[in-house]
Amino acid sequence: MRKKIIAANWKMYMTVTETENFYRAFAAEIPQNNRFEILIAPPATALAKLSELNARASQRIRLAAQNMFYEESGAYTGEISPTMLRELFVRYVILGHSERRQIFGESDALVARKVRAALHYKLRPILCVGETREQREAGKEKEILERQLRVALQGVESSSLESIVVAYEPIWAIGAERSAVPEQTQQLHAFIRCVLTYLSNAAVAEKIPIQYGGSVNTGNVAEFLSQPDIDGALIGRASLEARKFADIIKAANKLS
């Protein structure tokens, strides 16, 4: 059975001090019977502090990075290497997020290099894929998703694919007041799993968690996670408050 993952992507929010305050409040709120793997992806400046706090608390959560370069070291101003992340006990790294693609011009080919590097250094990539509103209205969402998956996973062995997490984030739903409809989202998650099956085999594809990212909150998380191919959530703004993020996890844990 696939492990369900709930991840917080803090983007460019939360200072080191705010991270420390969040963690102390959040650690007290995590339900004792939690059945989900909980990830937090803070800004790079807060990774060391979060790693330190988490070690003291017996690893209550898993650390994730929001980005990573594909080289181990070198003259790459402003970048962070896989080995730097490993040293901080980071285990997951978000790659190909729509904001990286749209604002910073990251191509499918660049995302692919990062995915291969992450796997090489024993980091679990959270590969983000998703369509814009214009692409969806043109009926091209499946075409876009298939292309992003094919390019990003080209050359990755089936045995390594089991370490990947896919996050479907329809760009038009990120930060929106209204999220996507869970049943429609399930259809695209099932399509993503079909593509993963084609790129590997059914046994491997069944092991790959597929998260949903797009305005997930306390009121809708259970409905999303009740769908057979939605294996977790990648949460943005709703994860910035300790109580609110904990409430989402509590709501998800109420699923039978």
The pLDDT tens digits for 153-172 are 999 998 999 999 999 999 88
What are residue 213's phi and psi, to 5 degrees?
-130, 120
Full set of structural domains in the chain with CATH = 5-253 (3.20.20.70)
Question: Percentage of the chain surpassing pLDDT 70?
Answer: 98
Name the residue among 103, 64, 68, 106 with its Cα closest to residue 84: 68
| pLDDT given at position 59 | 73
Place of tokens 């983007």: 11
- Residue 179 scores a pLDDT above 80: no
Strand 5-9 and strand 232-235: the pairing is: parallel
CA atoms within 13 A on the CB side of 179: 24
**What is the per-residue pLDDT for 140?**
96
Beta bridge partners of 41: 9
Three-state secondary structure along 218-234?
CCCHHHHHCCCCCCEEE
Q: What is the pLDDT of residue 165?
A: 98
The residues with which 37 forms a beta bridge, in sequence order, are 5
Confidence of residue 75 (pLDDT cuts 50, 70, 90): very high
List helix spans (H) across 5-131: 16-27, 47-56, 82-87, 98-103, 108-120
Q: Give 175's pLDDT tier (boundaries 50, 70, 90).
A: low
Residue 1: is its pLDDT beyond 60?
A: yes
pLDDT band with cut points at 50, 70 and 90 for residue 227: very high
pLDDT exceeds 70 at position 228: yes
213, 168 contact by CB (below 8 A): yes
- Bridge partners (DSSP) of residue 126 are 94, 165
Residue positions annotated with a catalytic role: 97, 169
Which pLDDT value is given to residue 176?
Answer: 60
Output the CA angle 12-132-111, nearest 5 degrees. Answer: 60
Question: What's the farthest any 2 CA atoms get from each other in the chain?
Answer: 51
pLDDT higher at 59 or 183: 183
Range 158-186 burial, b when 16+ CB lie within 10 A, else e: eebbebbbbbbbbbbbbeeeebbebeebb
User: Do the Cβ atoms of 72 and 56 come closer than 8 Å?
Assistant: no
Average pLDDT over the chain reads 94
| Cβ atoms of residues 232 and 6 within 8 Å | yes
pLDDT score, position 256 = 54
Looking at residue 76, what is its pLDDT? Answer: 98
Q: Which of 94-103, 108-117, 174-183 has the lowest mean pLDDT?
A: 174-183
Predicted TM-score (pTM) of this structure? 0.96
Q: How far apart (Å, rounded) are the C-alpha atoms in residues 146 and 238?
A: 29
